[in-house]
Amino acid sequence: MLVISITFHLNLIIFTEDHPINVDKLCSISEAVKKYVHDGSSVVLGAALENAIPFAVTHELIRQRLQNLNMIAPISDISTDMLIGAGCVKMVTGAWVGNVSGGMGHNYRRAAENGIPNSIKIHDYSNFSIGMALFAGAYGLPYIPVKSILGSDIIKSNPVIKIADNPFSDDHEPVALVPAIKPDIAFLVVQRADRFGNSHIWGSTGLTQEASIAAEKIIVLADQIVEPEVIASDPSRVLIPGFGVNAVCYVPAACHPSPLIGRWKRDNDFFHHYHKETRDEKGFQNWCDEWVKNIPDHEAYRNKLGNRLETLRIVGDAPSAPANYAAE
Amino acid sequence: MSNNYSTQELMIIAAAREINDYERIFVGMRLPITAYGVARLTHAPNAVGLFESGVCRYEPAKNMLYTMCDGPNQLGAAWTTGLIQIMGLLSGGRVHAGFIGGAEIDRFGNINTSYIGDVDDPEVKLPGSGGAPDIAAMAERLIIIMNHQKHRLVHKVDYITSPGFLDGGDARRRSGLAGGGPSAVITDRAILRPFGPDNELHLAAYHPNHTITEIMENTGWDLKSVPDLYETPSPTPTELEALHVIDKDGFWRN
């Protein structure tokens, strides 16, 4: 067993038997959730905004009946709304919860307005301020000053944000102080990874890098598993090196119905259907039974989607030019 | 009414006219994506589009977008990166204008997309802020697009998600914001702009086939007009042609 006892100064990630470099980390989502997520965990389910959301994990958290989770994300489309409806969530730390195609998140409304299925605590942020809070969490800073939420009532309704004067200015110059956010666990969808957790991501990434580095544990959901040489051939495309990754799950279309660049298109009708079906609590329960609880795993979910999933598969070809890393 | 354009089309084109050539624009979702495309094809061929998810584009996307994160918005982009890199341009004062939508706006251009009623016991919990507060706080100009109804254009919002001129006058400066603020509110009836020392929103232009009385009746405060009030010019054939190129299927304009 590989044990190197040095602390990596960028974060609290420590090389221990929990973070081996050359050990196969492949496992199922069910195993990863069982091992790494607990009642009360703070969880990031994708942080790229509307793409690469690990809905396969959303489903598994519901199936394993996790409770009192703190969901941390700028925007995770309907993923957070599903978890709230299923009674898994105690707290939302984020900027936006709804349905990007349909508008409101009905479960979010029911929980915030009427405590159905349970009341939730909300810590409001803007996208940039939660990003900077995760940045602080990633790089060991206790807090970070942000200007872009001044004037917003976010600085009043979020109890952890403080206003102070810039100590370097002779004039009165207010700044908002946002404390670091350090999630317990981050799940991220990547286009390809090797079995050690080294991965390639391309396209826009939102806060994926900050949220992952800030998190105590990282689980990678790979659309494709490749040999380590493939990842090593282009290290500039790596957001998170494998040493910080705890588990790798091979799950094609783990992002459905959200898109994954070069792999899957957005299933926009799915979002509209969810919006329509979940208008009342009973409707959500029926939807959740059909699409989550009565389905054993993601493979069965893909089978249920059947040809619909095939129509979302990206079949075009627009590869980037190779980058030459030769040293001699 | 014998217009050869829809109200949505007029709103998109009015929004496009707010973009100047060579400007860096925070585009946002839905109508503004289309407005950016129209501006690029007409009077602003050197404008740069920024998307908070981590996308910078010159050319508008060639295929239909449901969200800024969809594949067509990334194919051929000038830069795909992270949120902090793109929103950092905003925080660094490098963005000329940004577009946002709103559920509720007040006479000083403050926008609420968070809570209707009391924060601790809301009547309606709206989805929240996204990146709108950052854009409203830090862009040199803010352009707001929304439907014009009395319950949406209110005297004072319950919660300021995205700051306009706050209490009016120099309140933005006192709260620590360097400048900026709303420059236009484009609705389905009119265009409002801040005017006078208080920066209260005034009627600046009324759309064809809409009357000043009707617009005032659908506004939740005593709406005054700017001295040089005008009728919003109808879309030109060039603008309509550009719009039809950008929104081939008419998804955003019907």
In a domain, B2, yes or no: no
A238 touching B (Cβ < 8 Å): no
In this predicted structure, the answer to whether residue A5 has a pLDDT above a threshold of 90 is no
- List CB contacts (< 8 A) between A51 and chain B: 53, 67, 69-70
On whether the CB atoms of residues A254 and A297 are closer than 8 A, the answer is no
Across the interface, do A150 and B132 touch by the CB < 8 Å criterion?
Answer: no
Q: CB distance B127–A97 less than 8 Å? A: yes
Q: What's the average model confidence in pLDDT over A307-326? A: 97
Confidence of residue B17 (pLDDT cuts 50, 70, 90): very high
pLDDT of residue A22: 79
Cα A36 to Cα A92: distance, rounded to the nearest angstrom: 20
pLDDT greater than 70 at residue A2? no
pLDDT band, very low/low/confident/very high, at B7 (cuts 50, 70, 90): very high
Q: What is the pLDDT of residue A11?
A: 40
Residue B1, domain member (yes or no): no
- pLDDT recorded at residue B115: 96
Contacts of B3 (CB under 8 A, 6+ apart): B208, B209, B234
What is the pLDDT, as a whole number, of residue A13? 41
B254 is a domain residue: no
Domain boundaries, chain A: 29-142+180-312
Tell me which residue range forms the domain holding B219: 7-246
- Give the pairing of strands A192-193 and A185-190: unpaired
Residue A296 pLDDT level (bands cut at 50, 70, 90)? very high
Helix (H) or strand (E) holding A3: none
Which pLDDT value is given to residue A20?
A: 64
Nearest to B129 among A96, A135, A207 (CB): A96
State the average pLDDT over residues B191-205: 98
CB contact under 8 A, A151 and B67: no
Give this complex's ipTM: 0.96
Task: Give mean pLDDT, residues B121-130.
Answer: 95
Q: If DSSP states are collapsed to H, E and C, what string results for chain B?
A: CCCCCCHHHHHHHHHHCCCCCCCEEECCCCHHHHHHHHHHHCCCCCCEEEECCCEEECCCCCCCCCCCCCHHHHCCCCEECEHHHHHHHHHCCCCCEEEEECCEEECCCCEECCEEECCCCEEEECCECCCHHHHHHHCCEEEEECCCCCCCEECCCCCCCECCCCCCCCHHHHHCCCCCCEEEEECCCEEEEEECCCCEEEEEEECCCCCHHHHHHCCCCCCCEEEEEEECCCCCHHHHHHHHHHCCCCCCCC
Does the pLDDT value for residue A311 go beyond 50? yes
pLDDT of residue B249: 77
Chain A contact present for B104, CB below 8 A: no
Interface of B with A in 121-150 (CB under 8 A): 122-134, 136-138
**What CATH number has the domain bearing residue B78?**
3.40.1080.10
Q: Which pLDDT does position B2 carry in this prediction?
A: 53
Residue B68 with chain A: CB contacts under 8 Å: 49-50
User: Does the residue B89 lie in any domain?
Assistant: yes
* Encoded amino acid at B119, one letter: V
Dihedral of CA atoms A65, A48, A224, A183 in degrees, nearest 10, equals -50
Residue A19: per-residue pLDDT:
58
Please state the three-class secondary structure of A111-150 as a single string.
Answer: HHHHCCCCCCEEEECCHHHHHHHHHHHHCCCCEEEECCCC
- The residue annotated as part of the active site, out of B23, B52, B104, B239, is B52
Residue B64 confidence (pLDDT): 82
Find the closest chain A residue to B121 by CA distance. Answer: A113
Say if B226 is an interface residue toward chain A (CB within 8 Å): no
Greatest alpha-carbon pair distance for chain A in Å reads 66
Strand order in the sheet with A247-250: A121-124, A89-96, A69-75, A42-45, A185-190, A217-222, A247-250
Decide if B52 is catalytic.
Answer: yes
Among A246, A226, A275, A241, smallest CA distance to A108 is for A275
Per-residue pLDDT band for B31 (boundaries 50, 70, 90) equals: confident
Of A31, A70, A79, which Cα lies nearest the Cα of A184? A70
Whether A174 sits inside 8 A of B81 (CB atoms) is no
d(CA B150, CA B220): 5
Q: What is the pLDDT of residue A8?
A: 41
Which pLDDT tens digit goes with each residue over B76-117? Answer: 999 999 999 999 999 999 999 999 988 899 999 999 999 999
Q: Give the pLDDT band of residue A1 (cuts 50, 70, 90).
A: very low
B159 inside domain: yes
> Do residue A126 and residue B159 have CB atoms under 8 angstroms apart?
no
From A222's Cα to the closest Cα of chain B, the distance in A is 18
This prediction has a pTM of 0.95
Q: How confident is the model at residue A315 (pLDDT cuts 50, 70, 90)?
A: very high
CA distances from A297 to A60, A114, B167 (A): 8, 32, 53
- Nearest beta carbon to residue A148 from set B69, B75, B90: B90
Size of interface A-B (CB pairs under 8 A): 187
pLDDT of residue A7: 39
Give the residue with greater pLDDT, A5 vs A255. A255
Beta strand pairing status for A89-96 and A199-200?
A: unpaired
Buried/exposed code over A212-247 (b: 16+ C-beta within 10 A; e: otherwise): bbbbbbbbbbbbeebeeeebeeeeebbbbebbbbbb
Query: Is residue B134 domain-resident?
Result: yes
**Is B134 within 8 Å of A128 (Cβ atoms)?**
yes
CB A191, CB A261: distance < 8 Å: yes
pLDDT at A56: 98
Mean pLDDT on B158-186: 95
Whole-number Å distance between alpha carbons of A157 and A149: 12
A29-142+180-312 maps to CATH 3.40.50.11540: no
Q: Which two tokens stand for residue A73?
A: 């994300």
Please give the pLDDT value at position B28: 78
Span A165-217, pLDDT tens digits:
999 999 889 999 999 999 999 999 999 999 999 999 999 999 999 999 999 99
* Burial class of residue B11 in the structure, from the number of CB atoms within 10 Å of its CB (0-12 exposed, 13-18 middle, 19+ buried): buried
> Contacts of residue A100 in chain B, CB cutoff 8 Å?
29, 66-67
The string of pLDDT tens digits covering residues B202-252 is: 999 999 999 999 999 999 999 999 999 999 999 999 999 999 988 887 776
Task: Test A112 with B82 for CB contact under 8 angstroms.
Answer: no
Q: How far is A5 from chain B (nearest CA, A)?
A: 32
Q: Exposed, middle or buried: residue A295 (CB in 10 Å: 0-12, 13-18, 19+)? A: middle
Q: What is the pLDDT of residues A7-30, one digit of tens each?
A: 344 343 444 455 567 789 999 999
Residue B41 lies inside a defined structural domain of this protein? yes
Is the pLDDT at B1 greater than 50? The verdict is no
* B9-22 average pLDDT score: 97
Q: State residue B134 phi and psi, 5-degree precision.
A: -65, -40
Chain A residues 79-138 with a CB less than 8 Å from chain B: 94-98, 100-101, 103-105, 108-109, 112-113, 124-129, 131-132, 135
Residues of B within 8 A of A174 (CB-CB) are: 175-176
Q: What digits encode the pLDDT tens for the residues A132-161? A: 999 999 999 999 999 999 999 999 999 999
